[in-house]
């Protein structure tokens, strides 16, 4: 069972307080080839991001606590104004992750964190049955920010094989087989790559032949 706990949050942008629920437990089965979890009891991802009913700010519980910089808040307020929020509105899971990713680019989050938010947007988009184009747009942005994170050396050496596998798989899903192969081939340059990861890589690479 997905488990929740009641929580009151105060919005850093419009200062409205509201009641929400924190996810404190859920169950995961297997994972898709792009690491999208197959949740056994519904998708908890949308509930990890909280939408302010007053202004449409979207963030994790920690974002509500940590966002204090006045100039960052001003930029986000301007960004949110462009979405024409209706007071008391709601957002689906994929849209929550897309907006959180956009907001994250204004709050100085690392590219790897922005990439993760776009990746999770693609997962929610699939689970929510959105049109394919929505998934593809978010997937392109996830690739862009994972590449930026690689260039900025945001990942530890231990994480690099997984990152290259994931980039290979995201490029494969976007139909760019040359770039997919380039990332899949990178795994051969690392020592001690987990066996399961090489198996997954071989399986996905074979789909392109
Ligand atoms: Zn607000």
Question: Which pLDDT does position 88 carry in this prediction?
Answer: 87
Task: Report how far apart, in Å, the C-alpha atoms of 192 and of each of 79, 93, 198 are.
Answer: 44, 36, 10
pLDDT higher than threshold 90 for residue 186: yes
**All residues at 6 or more sequence positions from 115 whose CB lies less than 8 Å from its CB, including other chains:** 141, 142, 143, 144, 145, 146, 148, 149
The candidate with the shortest Cα–Cα distance to 168, out of 190, 193, 142, is 142
d(CA 196, CA 184): 14
Residue 126 Cα, ligand 1 centroid: separation in angstroms? 28
Question: Which pLDDT does position 117 carry in this prediction?
Answer: 98
Residue 84 Cα, ligand 1 centroid: separation in angstroms? 13
103: tokens are 């907001």
Report the largest interatomic distance among the alpha carbons of the chain, rounded to a whole angstrom.
Answer: 55
pLDDT per residue as tens digits for the range 43-93: 999 999 999 999 999 999 999 999 999 999 999 999 999 999 999 899 999
pLDDT per residue as tens digits for the range 122-176: 999 999 999 999 999 999 999 999 999 999 999 999 999 999 999 999 999 999 9
Q: What is the DSSP string of 74-107?
A: HHHHHHHHTT-PPTT----HHHHHHHHHHHHTTT
Question: Which pLDDT does position 17 carry in this prediction?
Answer: 97
Mean pLDDT of the chain: 96
pLDDT higher than threshold 90 for residue 18: yes
Q: How many C-beta atoms lie closer than 10 Å to residue 131's C-beta?
A: 8
Residue 39 Cα, ligand 1 centroid: separation in angstroms? 30
pLDDT higher than threshold 90 for residue 41: no
The candidate with the shortest Cα–Cα distance to 57, out of 43, 70, 67, is 67
Residue 18 Cα, ligand 1 centroid: separation in angstroms? 9
Helices marked H in the chain — which ranges?
A: 45-48, 61-66, 70-81, 93-104, 111-127, 132-151, 160-174, 177-186, 195-206
d(CA 209, CA 173): 14
Question: Which pLDDT does position 209 carry in this prediction?
Answer: 81
Domain boundary assignment for the chain: 3-111
Helix (H) or strand (E) holding 155: none
- Which residues are within 5 Å of ligand 1 (an ion), measured at CB? 11, 13-14, 52, 54-55, 57
pLDDT per residue as tens digits for the range 107-120: 989 999 999 999 99
57: tokens are 């700010």
CB of 128 closer than 8 Å to CB of 44: no
Residue 55 Cα, ligand 1 centroid: separation in angstroms? 4
d(CA 112, CA 145): 6
**All residues at 6 or more sequence positions from 160 whose CB lies less than 8 Å from its CB, including other chains:** 186, 190
Residue 80 Cα, ligand 1 centroid: separation in angstroms? 9
């Amino acid at each position: 069972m997905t488990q929740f706990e009641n929580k009151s949050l105060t919005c850093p942008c419009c200062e409205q307080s509201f009641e929400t629920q924190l996810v404190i437990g859920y169950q995961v089965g297997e994972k898709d080839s792009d690491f999208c979890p197959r949740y056994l009891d519904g998708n908890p991802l949308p509930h990890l991001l909280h939408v302010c009913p007053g202004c449409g700010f979207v963030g994790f519980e920690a974002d509500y606590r940590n966002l204090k910089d006045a100039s960052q808040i001003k930029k986000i307020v301007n960004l949110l104004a462009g979405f024409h929020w209706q007071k008391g509105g709601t957002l689906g899971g994929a849209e929550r992750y897309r907006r959180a990713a956009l907001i994250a680019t204004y709050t100085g989050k690392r590219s790897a964190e922005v990439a993760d938010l776009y990746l999770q947007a693609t997962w929610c988009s699939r689970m929510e049955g959105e049109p394919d184009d929505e998934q593809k747009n978010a997937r392109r942005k996830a690739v862009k920010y994972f590449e930026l994170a690689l260039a900025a050396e945001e990942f530890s050496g231990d994480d690099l094989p997984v990152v290259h596998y994931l980039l290979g798989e995201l490029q494969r899903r976007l139909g760019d087989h040359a770039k997919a192969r380039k990332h899949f081939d990178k795994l051969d340059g690392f020592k001690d790559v987990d066996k399961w990861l090489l198996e997954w890589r071989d399986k996905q690479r074979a789909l392109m032949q």
